[in-house]
Every structure is written in structure tokens, then in C-alpha cells.
A and B are shown apart, each in its own frame.
Chain A
Amino acid sequence: MIRDITIGQYYPGETWVHKLDPRLKIIITLVFIISLFLVRDFIGYAVAAAALAITIAISRVPLPFILRGLKAIFIIIIFTFALNMFMTGGTALVRVGFLTITREGLYNAVFMGLRLVFLIIGSSMLTLTTKPIKLTDGIESLLNPLRAVGVPAHELAMMMTIALRFIPTLLEETDKIMKAQVARGADFESGNIIRRAKNMIPILIPLFISAFRIAQDLAMAMEARCYRGGEGRTKLHELKFKERDVAASLLTVLFLALILLEREFWAILEMLAISR
């Protein structure tokens, strides 16, 4: 159950999507996210969905694997959906007790729900197809210009790598500790909320201790290998822009143009009508 959380996981592959320059992939993801906020109607979403579908198809990451990541935030999606559905004013459709579902509410709910789903899938495509190491290389390289104003680019990137790297480790650790306590007769499933919170203590304490132990070991191991931050550090794999990266950039520009065109479709039409 705890293993269903796939955020930040990598799905190995040798496809075109996997091989793109990580810097470009980060930018494409940002463009995609921004475009989701530019979209005003469902046709715009259709464009975004098509782009996403093509990317997924090329990357060969199985759809069930991607959707599993959604399961973890299902509650947030439902919450957003419900909030929008009941809290938007307008023409009433159905009335259930004191709750009213309006036409606008339903529209908003579906609209916001979809945006959230696209957001998650879009950003998980980045982590699914990019090794954490490459991802942080990309972030570091993108942040590098900001070093002039004192942003510790390398250190930030390193912190991210470590955080990403240890999510699965900590989940595994939690799973292990939970099993060991259940084997000693602990019960995490019954009782009221306070009782349940109290029952978490036998998991949380060993987990914290584990986390500190792991952090300490890691720091020691890094120091033993003479790690001393970004100063004067060279890279084993230099990032290089290739032909496929140029192609992907062009496609991204095309995508953004389509989104903008669709968004302003009526305005453009009107403008044309006036000028005529």
C-alpha cells in the first residue's frame, strides 16, 4: 500500500523522451504547467491531453504505472472537485439538503479536477523519464546563472538529489518498521483518531531514528570521499544540446502557439472580422 506512492520514481528506458537534455525537459515541463493555467476551455485541454498522450506513447512508460501516482493524491483531487462543485454560485441543477450543485459549479469542478490531473501526470512524466542524477544536473545548470546573486546552485541541486533518492528508502523503512510492530501485536487499523495517532508512536520513533542514522552515514560517506560542495567541481557527464533537443524545442514552441491560439481564438476571429 505504501509502495503505491510513485512520485519522484524513475521508469528506466532508452527512448527519445528519456534521452532528451534534462534542462530542456525541465523547461518543457514548466511550459506545460503554465499552459495548463492559460487554457480556458475543454478544447484547450484536448490539445494538452494530445501532447501528453504523444509524450507518454513515445516514452513507453505504461499507463497503469503513471496512474498509480494519481492514486496517492486521489483525496486531494476529490476534495478540489467537491469544493468547486458546491461552492460556486449560479443556476441550480440539483439540491441535496443544504447543498446545491450549480451548472457553473459542475463545470468548474470538472475543469479544476482535470487541471490537477494533468498537472500531476505532466510533472511525473519528468521524473519518470529522467534519472534523479540527470534531473539535478539539469536544475543545477539552470540555476547556475543565479550564482552571481548568491544562489547556491550546486548545494540546492545536491539537496534535491538526496531528498529524491531517499523517498523510496524511507518508505521501505516505514514498511519494515510497521511490519515489525504489527508482528508484536500492534494495531493500526482500529480505534478513534486519537487512539490511532497514539498508535503511530511505535512507527514514528524508529523511523526518525533511522532517518537520522541514514543522514549521518551519508554525510560521513560523502566526507570520506572528499565531497566539499560545488567549488571547483567538474562533471563526469557534460550536458550537451543535440538534434533531438532542437526538435523537441520546436515541438514545444508549436504546442505553446497552439494553446495560445486556441485561448484567443474568439478574440482573433473578432479582430479579423473588424479589420475586414
Chain B
Amino acid sequence: MSIVVKDLVYIYGEGTPYETVALDGVSFEIGDEEFVGLIGHTGSGKSTLVQHLNGLLKPKSGQIFVGGTEITARKKGLTNIRRKIGLLFQYPEYQLFEETVYKDVAFGPSNLGLSETEIDQRVREAMFLVGLDFTAMAERSPFELSGGQKRKAAIAGVIAMRPDVLILDEPTAGLDPRSHADILDMLDKIRKSRGVIVILISHNMADVARMADKVIVMDGGKIALAGTPAEVFAQDEFLSAAGLGLPPITKFIREMRQKGAKIGSNPLTLDEAEEAIDAYLTTKRGAGA
């Protein structure tokens, strides 16, 4: 499965005084099983962009191909495509409506017309993956949960559909460190167990640097930069001009270098940084002796 987007333009409230050009000629490609990090400052058009990918918003112009099928031209038959593309909205906790968490997570799978046993299995799996204890949570009302638990329930509702493309709009915003880690672990597990495309919108640069194969940077409705995390996070001046920053660890190494430490590489994760610092210290000791 691949996703190809060509020259996408979208305008909110066209023809009214409140007109906003949210997407202004966006093009990119996502290959099979790729993990894409989508970053950009507040209001840069990320949420608008991902809502196009399953046909919820219709572009003013441009094309989108999902697995070779153009979805922009058609009016009917989008339901099938939506079933393959799981989209988790920003603040998804407001979509909960059922009497129990179980039923709410089952809403997506039962729309797929699956059998009871299949649904049951998927609900259990999804709740396990997001870190919601099945025995304690399944029969509770989703409205009695805490904010973070609601978030997890909503995420479970999307992954229970087992989509081929999983799009998550800031899934970890406002979660505690443990839940945050749970969600990222879940993404890892899903990717390992079956090949999916993941698109992760996040303001957490460290997550994006660690998880993504490819990073797309949006700025003012346009794609400002795209490439591997190493390529993108090498452009620190550009990123800060676009209202973004570097992963803390990359920033730390950069500052060490400015203070005179001779570190050649640009580490993105803690492990890489450890290696780089280790190498630096060894050569320094060697030179000092």
C-alpha cells in the first residue's frame, strides 16, 4: 500500500470573510510500511491534511491516491477506503458515546460487519495494546474515565479496526510519561506484528526522531521540508524559524559542540548520543595521554 498526494489545496470558509488557506499545494509520497512523522507549528495545516487522506475533507484541487486508487474523484464507495485507513482525531475523547468502554471500542469493528467472536477478540487485543486493563475497564462507562483513560479508549476504538494505514493526530498530547510510553510501544508492536503505514502527528520532536523513517515538516499550509529524521533535524535554524525545535538530545550534543567538544555525528536518540559521547571521550583521553 502506498499513499500519493499531488498539489493538494484546501480553503476553509471559501467565499466568506473568514477564508483561510489551510493547504497550499501539498505533494508527497509515502511508501509501503513507512512510518511518517508529520510536524509543524500550530495551525500549519497538519490536521487538515490528514483528514483528506480518508476522504473526510474534499480538496479544492489536487489528487490523492491510496493504494493506487484515486479517492479525490469519487463520491461513493469511500466507506471501503475509510475502513482501511484508521484516523485518530486530535482530542478523540469527544467521540465516545456508548454505555461501556467495551461497546465503544467495538463500534468500529462492528461497522465492518465482523462476527461476534472476531469483534470480541479485536476489542481485547486493542485494549491490551493501549494499556487498558480489560477486566477493570471493559464494563465501565467511558464517561467515568479520566482524561488519559478516555484517550486510550478512543485509540483502542481506532486500532480495533486493524487499519492498513494508521493516522494519529497528537495521540500523546496531555498524557503522563507512562501512558505516553504505552502508546509509543503500541505503535511499535502494531508495526512489528503486521505491515502498516503509520502517520504520526506530534509536537514531541524526540518521539518523531526516534520512531519515524521519514519526517515531513509543514509550515503555513506548505511542505517546508521532508526527509529522514537525520536530514531534517540537521536543519536546526530552519526548524526554529518554522516554530519548531530539535529533539532535546540533539540539541544537547549541538551545544556541547559549540562549547568546543569535537563530536562529528548528529545523534537523534539517547543510544546514539551515548555512543557519540563515548567516542568523543575516548579520543579526547587518547589525545590527552
Contact = CB atoms under 8 A, between A and B. Distances in A.
Interface of A: 3, 11-12, 62, 64-65, 173, 176-177, 179-187, 201-202, 205-206, 209-210
A210 B15 contact: no
A89 B24 CA distance: 58
Contacts of B82: 182-183, 185
Nearest to A10: B17
Given A65-B15, A202-B107, A209-B143, A185 B94 contact: no
13 contacts: A11-B17, A173-B94, A179-B89, A183-B86, A183-B87, A184-B95, A184-B157, A185-B161, A187-B79, A202-B95, A206-B95, A206-B96, A209-B94
B54 interface: yes
B140 to A, nearest CB: 16
B16 A176 contact: no
Contacts of A182: 56, 82
A12 B82 CA distance: 38
A206 B161 contact: no
Measured as residues with beta carbon below 8 angstroms from the partner, the interface class of chain B is: 20 to 34
Interface in B96-112: 96-97, 107-108, 111-112
Contacts of A176: 89, 94
A11 B108 CA distance: 40
B252 to A, nearest CB: 38
B16 A184 contact: no
Contacts of B54: 183
Chain B CB within 10 Å, residue with most, of A179, A185, A205: A185
Contacts of B13: 3
Given A185-B83, A185-B108, A209-B143, A180 B94 contact: yes
Interface string B232-243: 000000000000
B94 A184 contact: no
Contact of A183 (B16, B89, B112): B89
Interface in B174-204: none
A99 to B, nearest CB: 34
Contacts of A210: 94
B81 to A, nearest CB: 11
A12 B13 CA distance: 14
A179 B97 CA distance: 14
A177 B95 contact: yes
Contacts of B97: 201-202, 205-206
A177 to B, nearest CB: 6
A186 B97 CA distance: 13
B158 interface: yes
Residue of A184, A201, A205, A206 with highest tally of chain B CB at under 10 A: A184
Contact of A184 (B51, B143, B158): B158
Nearest to A181: B95
Closest 3 CB pairs of A and B: A185-B111, A180-B95, A205-B97
B171 interface: no
A7 to B, nearest CB: 14
Interface string B51-92: 100101000000000000000000000010011011101001
Nearest to A206: B97
A186 B108 CA distance: 8
A169 to B, nearest CB: 13
Contacts of B112: 185
Contacts of A181: 95, 107
Nearest to A201: B97
A187 B111 contact: yes
Given A65-B15, A182-B82, A184-B161, A206 B87 contact: no
A185 B79 contact: yes
Given A65-B15, A184-B108, A206-B95, 18 more contacts: A11-B16, A11-B17, A62-B15, A65-B16, A177-B95, A179-B51, A179-B89, A180-B89, A181-B95, A183-B89, A184-B107, A184-B157, A184-B161, A185-B108, A185-B111, A185-B112, A202-B107, A205-B97
Contacts of A186: 107, 111
Contacts of B15: 62, 64-65
Interface in B28-56: 51, 54, 56
Given A3-B13, A65-B16, A184-B161, A179 B56 contact: yes
